[in-house]
Amino acid sequence: MRLNYLANAIGLTMIYIGPVILTPILVALFYGDYASIPPFITASLISAGLGYFFRKAVPDATSLENLNDIKKAEALFIVAFSWVIFGVISAIPYLFYGFSPINALFEAVSGITTTGATIFTHFDYPNALFFWRSFTQWLGGLGIIVLFIAILPQFAVAGRQMFFAEAPGPTEEKFTPRIKNTASSLWLIYAGLTLLEIVLLIWAGMPGFDALCNSLSTISAGGFSPHPNSISGYNSNCITWIIITFMFLAGVSFNLQYRVFLRKNPLLLFKNEEFRVYLFAVLLMAGLITVSLCVNNQHQLYKNITDALFQVVSVTTSTGFASLDFSKWNYTSELLLFLVMFMGSCASSAGGGIKMARWLVVIKSMKSEISKILHPNAIFNIKLENKTVPSEVTKQIVVFVFFYFFIFAVTAVLMSLVEHNSAVGLTGAISSLGNIGPAMTSATGPMTNFDNVHIVTKVIFIINMLVGRLELIPFLVMLQPSFWTVKEN
C-alpha cells in the first residue's frame, strides 16, 4: 500500500465529512437551541482538520492523480479506516451532552453502522441530538463513501474499488456503465424513499420531526427513534404498517428497485430469485410466530399478525425498531425470532446480516455436493438469476459464512463470560454482528438500553458493529501480514 494514496483519499473523505456534520445545526436553529451548535461545529472542525493533516503530512498526497490507479488493498484500508475515524468523530457531539467516551463511541458507532443499539437511559435531549442519531444512520445505511463517489469528481476513477469495498456483496453488481452514475442512482432511490415515508408518516398523524427522524432510520435499516418506546409509542396501526412497508423496502436490493423505477414495472421484483426467497422467508417466519403467539397468548389475531410481521421484518432487515417488547414473548416465539437474526435481507440493500443471496449460494452448494456423491462425473453449476456463479465466488461466500459464524461464536462466548449470562452473550453477539440492534433479554431488549453492560461488552459490541457493517471482508483481509506492507509512494 502507498501512503500518499491512503492519505489523499482518507484526507478528502474527512474534509468533506466536515460540512456534513454541520447539518444538525439547521435543526438547532429551527428550534432556537443555540446551545446545540458548538458540539457539531467542534466535530466538523476536527474532521476537516484531520483531513488537511493527512493530506499535508504525507509527501505528494495532494496530487489528484494519486487516486486514479488505486489498488484493492488500498481501497479496503481507506474504507475501513474512514469508517473507524468517522465513528470517532461522530462520537464528539455526544461528549457535550454528558456521555462518557466509551458510551459516546458506542452510540456513534451504533448510528453509523445502522445497528440501533442505544446507550440512552433517558430521552430528555435536544432535537438536534436526536436528528444527529438518525442522520448518522441515514449516512451509514447506503455508505458515506458511496455518497462521495456520487458527488465528488476526485473519486470518479477510484470509485469502483472503494464502492465495492464499502458495499461488498456476493458479486460486484453495477447497473450503469460508470460507477459514479450507479452511486448517484442508488442515492436517488434512497432519498426518494425517505421523502415518501416522511410524507406518509405525517399524513398518518406522526409529528413532523418524529416523521423525519424515523424515516431516516427506517430507510437506512437503522432503528433509532426519538420516541423512548420506539414505534410502539405512537399507538397507531397506520404508522406501524407504513413502517413495516418501508423497512421491508430497505431490505430489498436498491439496484433492483432502481430497475423497477426505470421500467415502471413492479412485477420485476418477483422475477428476482433473491427477492422471492426474501419475501417467502419473511412471510414464513411471521406466520410461524403468529401461530405461536395465538396458541400461547390468546391475543387478537390481527394484533398477533401485525406484531409478528413487524418484528420479523425489523430483525430480518436489521432495522431494530420495535412495536412491542418482544423480550416478554413466550419461549417458542423468542426462539423463532432469534433464528430470524441469522437470515439477513437482500444484497445491495441497507439491511445487514449474511444476506439472502449468500444463503442461496450456500444452500445450492450443499445440494451440489450431495448430488456429486450420487453422480461423481456430473458437472453441477450454481446459478443465481440464471447466471453461473464462478467457483471462486462460491468459495468466497462459503468462507464468508464460516467466518461469520466463527466471529459470532467467539464474541458470544466472550460476552457470556463477561456478563455471566449466556442469553446476553448469544443474542448480543448476533445483534451486534448483524447490525440488528436490540437483543432479546430483559437487560438488552428493545425497551431497554446497553448502558449497564460491562465496558468490555461495549468494546466487543463496537468491534462487531463495525465488522458487521463492512461485511467482514476488509476485516479478514487486514488479518493478513502482507496487507500491512506500506511504502511512501
**pTM of this prediction?**
0.90
Mean pLDDT of 106-113: 94
What is the arithmetic mean of pLDDT over 301-329? 91
Does pLDDT of 59 surpass 60? yes
Residues 6+ apart with CB under 8 A from 255: 173, 174, 175, 186, 348
* pLDDT at res. 469: 85
Query: Is the pLDDT higher at 37 or at 146?
Result: 37
* Mean residue pLDDT across the chain: 85
What is the mean pLDDT of the segment spanning 11-18? 86
pLDDT for the residue numbered 57? 75
pLDDT at 367: 87
Taking alpha carbons only, the member of 464, 478, 474 closest to residue 414 is 464
Residue 79: pLDDT band with limits 50, 70, 90: confident
| Predicted confidence (pLDDT) per residue in 367-409, tens digit | 888 888 877 777 777 887 778 888 888 888 888 889 999 999 9
In the structure grid, which three cell numbers stand for residue 339, read together?
A: 433464528
* Alpha-carbon distances, residue 268 vs 77, 261, 358 (angstroms): 36, 10, 21
Residues in contact with 300: Cβ distance below 8 Å, sequence separation at least 6, in sequence order? none
Q: What is the pLDDT of residue 137?
A: 93
Which range of 275-289, 395-409, 441-455 scores highest in mean pLDDT? It is 275-289
pLDDT band at 179 (very low <50, low <70, confident <90, very high): low
pLDDT band for position 151 (cuts 50, 70, 90): very low
Give the β-pairing of 383-384 and 387-388. Answer: antiparallel
Q: Coil, strand, or helix at residue 264?
A: coil
Q: How confident is the model at residue 439 (pLDDT cuts 50, 70, 90)?
A: confident
Report the pLDDT value the prediction gives residue 63, as an integer from 0 to 100.
Answer: 58
The answer on pLDDT for 184 being more than 80 is: no
Bridge partners of residue 123, in order along the sequence: none
Q: Which residues fall within 8 angstroms of residue 191, CB to CB, at 6 or more apart?
A: none
- H-only helix segments in 120-269: 127-142, 144-151, 159-166, 179-203, 208-219, 237-250, 254-263
- Of the candidate ranges 189-193, 359-363, 471-475, the one whose mean pLDDT is the lowest: 471-475
| CA separation for the pair 289, 358 (Å, rounded) | 24
Lowest mean per-residue pLDDT among 50-64, 119-133, 340-354? 50-64
- CA pair distance 418, 280, nearest whole angstrom: 38
